[in-house]
Structure 1
Amino acid sequence: MKNLLNKWNQLSIVKRIIVGLIVGIILAVAIPETAQPVVILGSLFVGALKGIAPILVFFLVMSAISQHKSGHETNMKSIVVLYLFGTFMAGLTAVIASFVFPVTLTLTAGAGAGDITPPGGVSEVLQTLLMNVVDNPIKALFNANYIGILAWALVLGLALRNAAESTKTLISNFSDAVSQMVRWVINFAPLGIMGLVFEAIATNGIGTLLSYGHLLAVLLGSMFFMALVVNPMIVFMYIRKNPYPLVLRCIRESGITAFFTRSSAANIPVNMSLCEKLGLDKDTYSVSIPLGATINMGGAAVTISILTLAAVNTLGIQVDIGTALILSILSAVCACGASGVAGGSLLLIPLACSLFGIPNDIAMKVVGVGFIVGVLQDSCETALNSSTDVLFTATAEFAKWRKEGKEINIDEKVA
């Protein structure tokens, strides 16, 4: 038994996750009733990740800022530019896909939308985002408000830059201890993924999704095109090397867990661990990864654009190129503010629909369709969003090395 456990631990985390994935599928298909207790494994795994992530971000950012050495440059400017450009390109890709493969919907009552109220305009979304910055720090930690956590950790880190070395060492030790706790949690990923995939297949199935096959094909096709074509092109422009080893590792080690947890927040510890394996600058990724979980929302931009244009096509509204371009920009802005809105990207669809004068009651029916296909849409959206956080952070770092004349062996880095 001990030898078997040692061999299991010697496997890479990705191989162990694949084993958990396969076992979860087999249990869901063969004995869904008998194996029902394994669902708790998925809930425990996601709960542990969500529980530790806010504390991890707070201590990592505070430690990095307080101990930042003068003259040591980070790549935050380049990373933010990549985040915003990538989100815009996602919105544009979705708009083009909607023109090439137009989708129409059969609108019924807004199933799943309930009595929720979407934001009234872009200003309301941005105001919510700004108010999250000045949220009570304890409340921000309790509610996993990462914009607020980032802001207060930055301010506290700056205030501690002139503190005694013993104080900085204590903060650094706390940061290292929380990072170790995260590694312990991630080691349980295979069991967590097994429980999550079992629940997804046993509970939801795919029957209800078949009638929305065309919509799902355009949605998921656009996300895969972003992940496997557009993002690699962006990476290549920066590093001038074959981007696919890096792209595929980010999808494999970050995207897979994000797909099943369906939470960018829960995937922050996974992304931090991957950045460490890639040898990236801790001062940079300790800030860029939680920031990416709030503003790097390419998948959300895809969802907003495609479902909005599906509503437009359903109502027979003509759209010119200029308006389509404005929609790409609007969907990118809305996606960046999605973390400040309950319901995420789906609840920002009525805001985008208002660009075409579509009434709110019809827009909410489109949101209802979004909830129906959300089993796959939200999973793929989160996988794209979260894996791209690491991808763009690594891209900025490797681009810096290239400018400094350092040799970049991408294959060796991602091996």
Structure 2
Amino acid sequence: MLNALLDRIRRSLVLQILLALVAGGLLAWLWPSAADSVSILGTLFISALKAIAPVLVFLLVIAAISNHRPGQETQIKPVLWLYAVGTLAAACVAVAASTLFPSVIHFRAAPAVQGVPGDITQVLMNVLKSAFDNPVHALLEANYIGVLAWAVALGIALRHANPTTRTVLEDLGQAITQIIQGVIRLAPLGIFGLVAATFSAGGLEALKDYTQLLLVLVGCMLFVALVVNPAIVWTQTRRNPYPLTLTCLRESAVTAFFTRSSAANIPVNLALARKLQLAEETYSISIPLGATINMAGAAITISVLTLAAANTLGIAVDIPTALLLCVVSAVCACGASGVAGGSLLLIPLACSLFGISNDLAMQVVGVGYVIGVIQDSTETALNSSTDVLFTAAACRGAERRQGLEIPAV
């Protein structure tokens, strides 16, 4: 029986990651000094994911588009609609929860933060500028909007190239994919180092003053992940959405929770999409795009912290303003960067709806950094797992409408 258990652990990456979670927590509790030493494992794991992801996305998108034949259907448009609906629904959940369970903020000193956008126009302009970034700079800085824009342009240009050229690009994409699979196999070691470093830092003590705020934030994200998203998936598949939902949470959200970066989790999601047998011409574009614009967790963070600030200052929030906040939070979330803490920089913009000064709004950002060890991890887990969930929902929905057999999860 022991041999069977060991064999099952050896074959299951998810079980290995769960064991790494327990081992990292125990090490941080029993031997904190050693926990600091193994944190290098987590740092190297995240660095490897971030280093290879832009190249992987660039090659996969070029190969997928250059080999696309006229009349071959993709599901990019349905996925984008799901991203928009999911983000707006998350913002509505956050506004409703903040109204039912109002929170307050203990203002502290404002952090020194650069590059905070002043209005929605600036957010959208930043996204547009990213699309026209120098291709080499976009790859170096992991600017996925720029990487996607250039990859799409080159893919279209290469559709009439020599077949051998397209084959070489496809082979390069497959080679990078194999490297990624090797990195992902090392995820248990990376998670072990990340967990040990997180719990040994002792930062959890600072969260005591924000228990209710965190409960509202995390509660909203769990509600969206376990109720709202499955309902959206059902509208596409007309089947029990929970097997697919739980698979995405188990195999994508866990790593995203500890990497705290949607961009770093792109390779994990691409591997999961391949495992789910989704169409490569769809997921190779939708997943890296989702890492930038599909930000349900960011919409929740922006809405909850903004309304907590308004409640603390005694500002009454009427229904039209609350609805406007839902829309603003959803649009702002689409401009949040796919890195740790990206959504916090957009809180001052949302606070301006209620006439909250920039100085106070930056103190709200400071609170966000205090609770970031939980807030940002949970937010990223929701954001990243939803990328592959909605991609799978769109692909499964297309298969259902065509009368094809849907692969089991």
Q: Do the structures match in fold with TM over 0.5?
A: yes
Q: Unaligned regions of 5+ residues in structure 1, if any?
A: none
Give the residue type in structure 1 aligned to 2:40.
Answer: I
Q: Which whole-Å CA distance do the structure 2 matches of 1:57 and 1:408 have between them?
A: 26
Q: Which of 41-50 and 7-16 deviates more? A: 7-16
Q: How far did residue 9 of structure 1 move?
A: 7.4
Count residues with an aligned counterpart: 406
The answer on 1:53 being equivalent to 2:88 is: no
Among 358, 362, 365, which residue is 1:364 paired with? 362
Trace 1:194-213 onto structure 2 (pairs within 5 A). 194-213=192-211
Q: Point out 4+ residue stretches in structure 1 off by more than 3 angstroms.
A: 6-10, 340-343
Q: Which whole-Å CA distance do the structure 2 matches of 1:382 and 1:366 have between them?
A: 19
Q: What is the CA deviation profile of residues 243-266 of structure 1, one whole-angstrom value per residue up to 9, with x for unaligned ones?
A: 011000100000000000001011
- Structure 2 CA distance for partners of 1:165 and 1:42, relative to 1, 3 Å: same
Q: Provide TM-score, normalisation by structure 1.
A: 0.95
The answer on 1:84 being equivalent to 2:84 is: yes
Q: Which whole-Å CA distance do the structure 2 matches of 1:240 and 1:17 have between them?
A: 32
- Alignment partner, residue 333 of structure 1: 331
Among 246, 253, 256, which residue is 2:254 paired with? 256
- Alignment partner, residue 39 of structure 2: 39
Q: How far did residue 384 of structure 1 move?
A: 0.2
Aligned partners of 1:17 and 1:189 also within 8 Å: yes
Among 218, 221, 224, which residue is 2:219 paired with? 221
Give the residue type in structure 1 aligned to 2:11.
Answer: L
Give the residue type in structure 1 aligned to 2:316.
Answer: Q
Among 392, 395, 398, which residue is 1:394 paired with? 392
Give the residue type in structure 2 aligned to 1:162.
Answer: H
Q: Which whole-Å CA distance do the structure 1 matches of 2:217 and 2:57 have between them?
A: 31
Aligned partners of 1:125 and 1:340 also within 8 Å: no
Give the residue type in structure 2 aligned to 1:78.
Answer: P
Q: How far did residue 211 of structure 1 move?
A: 1.0
Q: What is the CA deviation profile of residues 307-342 of structure 1, one whole-angstrom value per residue up to 9, with x for unaligned ones?
A: 000011011111111110010000000000112899
Aligned partners of 1:219 and 1:306 also within 8 Å: yes
Aligned partners of 1:305 and 1:327 also within 8 Å: yes
Q: Which whole-Å CA distance do the structure 2 matches of 1:203 and 1:391 have between them?
A: 33
The answer on 1:93 being equivalent to 2:86 is: no
Alignment RMSD (CA, Å): 1.6
- Alignment partner, residue 309 of structure 1: 307
- Alignment partner, residue 383 of structure 1: 381
- Alignment partner, residue 286 of structure 1: 284
Q: Which whole-Å CA distance do the structure 2 matches of 1:90 and 1:215 have between them?
A: 17
Q: How far did residue 107 of structure 1 move?
A: 1.2
Partner of 2:112, secondary structure, is coil
Give the residue type in structure 2 aligned to 1:135.
Answer: D
Give the residue type in structure 2 aligned to 1:250.
Answer: C
Q: How far did residue 36 of structure 1 move?
A: 2.7
Identity %: 57
Q: How far did residue 117 of structure 1 move?
A: 4.4
Give the residue type in structure 2 aligned to 1:347.
Answer: L
Q: How far did residue 11 of structure 1 move?
A: 2.0
Aligned partners of 1:125 and 1:341 also within 8 Å: no
Trace 1:6-45 onto structure 2 (pairs within 5 A). 7=7, 10-45=10-45
Give the residue type in structure 2 aligned to 1:383.
Answer: A
Partner of 1:318, secondary structure, is coil
Q: What is the CA deviation profile of residues 44-73 of structure 1, one whole-angstrom value per residue up to 9, with x for unaligned ones?
A: 100000000000000000000000111110
Q: What is the CA deviation profile of residues 91-128 of structure 1, one whole-angstrom value per residue up to 9, with x for unaligned ones?
A: 01000000000011121212xx2143421111111111
Q: Which whole-Å CA distance do the structure 1 matches of 2:153 and 2:9 have between them?
A: 40
Aligned partners of 2:261 and 2:338 also within 8 Å: no
Among 153, 167, 170, which residue is 1:169 paired with? 167
Q: Provide TM-score, normalisation by structure 2.
A: 0.97
Q: Which whole-Å CA distance do the structure 1 matches of 2:113 and 2:303 have between them?
A: 23
Partner of 1:160, secondary structure, is helix
Q: Unaligned regions of 5+ residues in structure 2, if any?
A: none
- Alignment partner, residue 75 of structure 1: 75
- Alignment partner, residue 123 of structure 2: 125
